[in-house]
Amino acid sequence: MRCDGATSAAGPGPKGNPSVGRRAFFKTVFLPAVALGLLTLCLSCAHLLARPVLVVFETQLGNITVEVDVAHAPITGRNFLRYVDGGFYDGGMINRAVRLDNTIRHDVEIQVIQFQSDPTRESELFPPIPMERTSVTGLRHVNGVLSMARMGPDTAQASFSIVIGNQPEMDFGGRRNPDGQGFAVFGRVVTGMDTVKKIHQAHTGMSGPYKTETLEPPIKIVKAYRKEQSNSK
């Protein structure tokens, strides 16, 4: 009876001893295959062990601390942290508050506030990132989450929103964006929802880029930075 290809290639070993061939197969084929399998498993699961990163936004109406989910949304989360670490949000603004009483769209109503990086650094923005859809990440647009603003898919850069209330129409398959791709969730507010609500209820006018949804005046972002975390967790 013919042996399988791997054993045949190794041959029966010196003096016809089949145990030598088996040992050769074990060392040259089986062990490397197991090692590769374990490495692949470790790499695929490593993101699940990624610790959330805390970021503080100091605004003129109070502080907001957010948790960036680099485990479930690694591309979006790391992109956001590049802007934080680069100081892009320092001197930025929150210039949009979408409410039921001022929304432009009544077909699919949502409630959010929208953050912008420092407009003087627009030429320094990083390239747009691939969109991490909620159908892939498993994250949802529930109260207090962070969600990337965008035009078409794969166009998000620095602008993002904080969601007020549950907004399922912003998830993949929802109707808020006509393409049905939804928006990328990448974190949540851990403290400061009172500040979020205060900003959400601030005065809006008619003269800005978002018409009746434009905050007048915009709420200034003093600075944004990573918050040191205790190692006890």
Beta-bridged to residue 67, according to DSSP, are: 54, 188
Give the pLDDT confidence score for residue 7 in this predicted structure: 35
Residue 105 neighbours by CB distance under 10 Å: 10
Task: For residue 57, give every residue at least 6 positions away whose Cβ sits within 8 Å of its Cβ, in sequence order, or none.
Answer: 63, 64, 65, 66, 89, 115, 192, 221, 224
* Token pair 């374990």 in the structure block, residue: 38
CATH of 50-226, one of 3.30.200.20, 3.40.50.720, 3.10.105.10, 2.40.100.10: 2.40.100.10
CB atoms within 10 A of CB 41: 10
pLDDT at 207: 84
Q: Are 148 and 76 in contact (CB under 8 A)?
A: yes
pLDDT of residue 40: 45
Q: How far is CA 191 from CA 62, 110, 199, in A?
A: 11, 22, 14
CA separation for the pair 87, 91 (Å, rounded)? 9
For residue 157 the two structure tokens come to 């850069």
Buried/exposed 204-219: b ≥16 CB within 10 Å, e otherwise: beeebebeebbbeebb
Q: Which pLDDT score is estimated for 2?
A: 36
Q: pLDDT per position in the chain (233 positions), as tens?
A: 434 444 333 444 445 565 656 665 555 655 555 555 554 454 445 455 588 999 999 999 999 999 999 999 999 999 999 999 999 999 999 999 999 999 999 999 999 999 999 999 999 999 999 999 999 999 999 999 999 999 999 999 999 999 999 999 999 999 999 999 999 999 999 999 999 999 999 999 988 999 999 999 999 999 999 998 765 44
Q: What is the pLDDT of residue 32?
A: 55
Domain layout of the chain by residue ranges: 5-48, 50-226
Predicted local confidence at residue 14, as pLDDT: 47
Q: Supply the pLDDT for residue 198.
A: 98
Burial-class residue 46 by CB neighbours within 10 Å (0-12, 13-18, 19+).
exposed
